[in-house]
Amino acid sequence: MNRISRPPAPPAPAPARAPRSPRARFVAWRARAGRDEGFTLVEQIIAIGLATILGVIGVVTYQKINRQAIEARQRVEVATGIDDANGQLLRDVNDAMSIRAADAQHLTLAVIRDGACVVRDYTADTTAKTLSVVSTFYEQASCSGASEATPPKVLLVRYTQPATFTYWGESETIPIPSPVEDVRNIRRVQWELAAEPYVDRDAPDVTLMSSQFFDGRGESSGSGTPELQAKRPLLTLTTEVPGRDAPSMTWTDPTPTLTAGWVVTRAREAERLEPGSFLAIAWPDAGTLTFTDTTLQPGERATYVVYAILTDGSNGPSSNSIDTGLRPDVVTGVVATGQPTAIKVDWVAAIGATGYDVYRDGSLAANVGATTTYTDALAYGHTHDYRVVATNRWEQKLTTGSETGRLPIGDAITKTYSGGVRLASAVTAAAGAFTAPAAPTITATPNANWSNTVTRTYAAWVGTGPTSKAGAARDRGWEVQAAPLTGGFTDLWSESTAAAQTHSSRPAGATTRYQARTCNASGCGPYSPVVSALQRPPAPASCTTAAASTRGMQVTVNPAGME
């Protein structure tokens, strides 16, 4: 019989081991280690490689940490140096009695501390990449006599700012150009410091911008020393009528015991031009605190600054500046030239004029700008005299109360303003002119002798200008054109001064039309309206009678031909 095969029975599970104690595990491990024969070559290579990598990582990490520490120290040194340099500049400018030199990379200050003078000479050198200062110490406050200079002290290294110092005067928006020619104009010193933070790595510069006002009073805080230096005078304009009268001014003397005299400086130029350079124009003595400038010319503007000459021979601080000026002088060379329907007015430019007012027959006709010509657009038949007044901001303030105001059209030239009557150009023959005449009025009358008489009446003129110029009348003569009843006009008579003219040999029964115009040096005016003259008819061509009786007769007339 067949037997069915059966799968083998699964093996019996291994008996579970009891957990070993830590001591048993350690004993087993030591037994295995005793039987170990050492590391294989592969294991040794791997171990050496790992050790090398770990060593490199350690060295790199150390170098990075060390470099970061060095760079942090370098940056701190630069930042601290900038802060220290800024603080020293703030103190020196505040305590300075005077500025001796001022340009973009160089500033020299005379500083007063504890009653003694120290001259600080700051120099920025982008080639050497340094900002340094040299201090010169004097034994007295006058910055004269025995002195001792220290070697240059480097305030900043790796210095990069190409224009360290900026100087400001009266203007808050426009700095004084560097180098400053007249350091007395400086009211504020501004500086921008910049240096590279690291020795051998590029990075944005460390920068700082600051400024300090300069008043020239010397030390004002810190030592308790009284202010013994000359103080800035206050300058005031006292002109009775600015723009009309010579500029007058007065100033204060805060420290009269230090004043040996004064210097009045002036920068002048014609109005509209760039400011000029300050030049000394007067040297009042110590007790004189007023000045009147009688040399300023009409049309000029001027800026004044005063400063003291001190008893030690040095210059005191400058005053504030004042700005004033004079209205332009009388305009000359006014010439009026007639045109057919306009008059052109020309004149010579006045010094310092920014505009002109043109008067026609004594009334303001136009406000124009800085030009020397004006064309008065008119019509035929105008005759006028012209006068011109030069204006600038001082003249405008005298008349309108505003430096930008202009007078309204129509104002009389004789009107009185705060500055009095205006300075108008002279009334001259050359300043008058006329246009071409307006159309005349004409009449045409037939005469018994087969002629027509044409008469004219000149048109009236507008304006109070001249009746003649250069010997030629404004109504120089009249021209006449004639035409038949139908057809075009042709010239009949050239220019004539006669009031009436006769057109002879007129055909019987003819109608003649006439028009005329008046001429002068400016041209000819328009033609007059057309007038006509009709001559009496000619004799009939024939005359016949019929049916004659004692009571009457029939007469037949055949008239001659007519236009």
> Would you state the structure tokens that stand for residue 535, as one six-digit string?
């001559």
Q: Determine, yes or no, domain membership for 31.
A: no
Rounded-to-integer distance, Cα 454 and Cα 445, Å? 7
Counting the structural domains of the chain, the total is 4
pTM of the model: 0.59
User: Among 30-34, 102-106, 503-507, 550-554, where is mean pLDDT lowest?
Assistant: 30-34
pLDDT score recorded for residue 549: 83
Band (pLDDT 50/70/90 cuts) for residue 181 is: confident
Radius of gyration in angstroms for the set of CA atoms belonging to the chain, rounded to a whole number: 53
Nearest to 424 by CA among 449, 451, 390, 464: 390
pLDDT score recorded for residue 7: 54
Claim to verify: residue 374 and residue 264 sit in the same structural domain = no
User: Among 36-50, 124-138, 220-234, 500-514, where is mean pLDDT lowest?
Assistant: 220-234
Band (pLDDT 50/70/90 cuts) for residue 225 is: very low
- What is the extent of the structural domain holding 496? 441-534
Q: Determine, yes or no, domain membership for 10.
A: no
Q: What percent of the chain has pLDDT over 70?
A: 90
Nearest to 466 by CA among 335, 332, 373, 333: 335
> Average pLDDT for residues 380-386, to the nearest whole number?
98
Nearest to 115 by CA among 85, 95, 134: 95
Rounded-to-integer distance, Cα 303 and Cα 159, Å? 39
Claim to verify: residue 430 and residue 452 sit in the same structural domain = no
Residue 477, classified by CB atoms within 10 Å of its CB into exposed (0-12), middle (13-18) or buried (19+), is middle
Beta bridge partners of 511: 534
Q: Determine, yes or no, domain membership for 493.
A: yes
Q: Determine, yes or no, domain membership for 246.
A: yes
pLDDT score recorded for residue 381: 98
Claim to verify: residue 84 and residue 146 sit in the same structural domain = yes
Query: Is the pLDDT at 242 greater than 60, yes or no?
Result: yes
Rounded-to-integer distance, Cα 92 and Cα 318, Å? 19
Query: Is the pLDDT at 470 greater than 60, yes or no?
Result: yes
Among the ranges 33-37, 142-146, 156-160, 225-229, which has the highest mean pLDDT value?
Answer: 156-160
> Would you state the structure tokens that stand for residue 63, as one six-digit string?
């170098």
Claim to verify: residue 292 and residue 344 sit in the same structural domain = no
Domain end position, chosen among 384, 399, 434: 434
User: Among 234-238, 286-290, 312-316, 349-353, where is mean pLDDT lowest?
Assistant: 312-316
Query: Is the pLDDT at 235 greater than 70, yes or no?
Result: yes
Q: Determine, yes or no, domain membership for 166.
A: yes
Beta bridge partners of 512: 484, 533
Nearest to 484 by CA among 530, 539, 418: 530
pLDDT score recorded for residue 21: 64
Claim to verify: residue 146 and residue 201 sit in the same structural domain = yes
Claim to verify: residue 409 and residue 454 sit in the same structural domain = no
Domain end position, chosen among 434, 449, 484: 434
Domain end position, chosen among 181, 213, 245: 213
Query: Is the pLDDT at 222 greater than 60, yes or no?
Result: no
What is the CATH classification number for the domain harbouring 339?
2.60.40
Q: Determine, yes or no, domain membership for 149.
A: yes
259-308 per-position pLDDT tens digit: 999 999 999 998 877 767 899 999 999 999 999 999 999 999 999 999 99
Say which residue, 348 or 551, is predicted with more confidence.
348
Among the ranges 135-139, 295-299, 315-319, which has the highest mean pLDDT value?
Answer: 295-299
Q: Determine, yes or no, domain membership for 271.
A: yes
Beta bridge partners of 557: 543
How far from 304 is each of 271, 286, 449, 456, CA to CA, in Å? 15, 18, 89, 68
Q: Determine, yes or no, domain membership for 11.
A: no
Give the chain's end-to-end CA distance (angstroms, integer). 173
Mean pLDDT of the chain: 88
Nearest to 189 by CA among 126, 104, 276, 257: 104
What is the CATH classification number for the domain harbouring 271?
2.60.40.10
User: Among 16-25, 77-86, 184-193, 355-364, where is mean pLDDT lowest?
Assistant: 16-25
The sign of the dihedral angle between the CA atoms of 279, 285, 287, 292 is negative
> Would you state the structure tokens that stand for residue 245, as one six-digit string?
């009268």
> Average pLDDT for residues 188-206, to the nearest whole number?
87
Band (pLDDT 50/70/90 cuts) for residue 226 is: very low
Band (pLDDT 50/70/90 cuts) for residue 337 is: very high
116-131 per-position pLDDT tens digit: 889 999 999 999 999 9
Residue 120, classified by CB atoms within 10 Å of its CB into exposed (0-12), middle (13-18) or buried (19+), is buried
Claim to verify: residue 302 and residue 372 sit in the same structural domain = no
How far from 19 is each of 15, 22, 23, 428, CA to CA, in Å? 13, 10, 12, 139
Rounded-to-integer distance, Cα 372 and Cα 356, Å? 8
Residue 233 preceded by cis peptide, ω within 30: no
Claim to verify: residue 348 and residue 422 sit in the same structural domain = yes
Claim to verify: residue 114 and residue 245 sit in the same structural domain = no
Tell me which residue has tokens 């500083």: 111
Q: What percent of the chain has pLDDT over 90?
A: 59
Claim to verify: residue 430 and residue 445 sit in the same structural domain = no
Residue 13 preceded by cis peptide, ω within 30: no
Claim to verify: residue 396 and residue 454 sit in the same structural domain = no
Claim to verify: residue 132 and residue 262 sit in the same structural domain = no
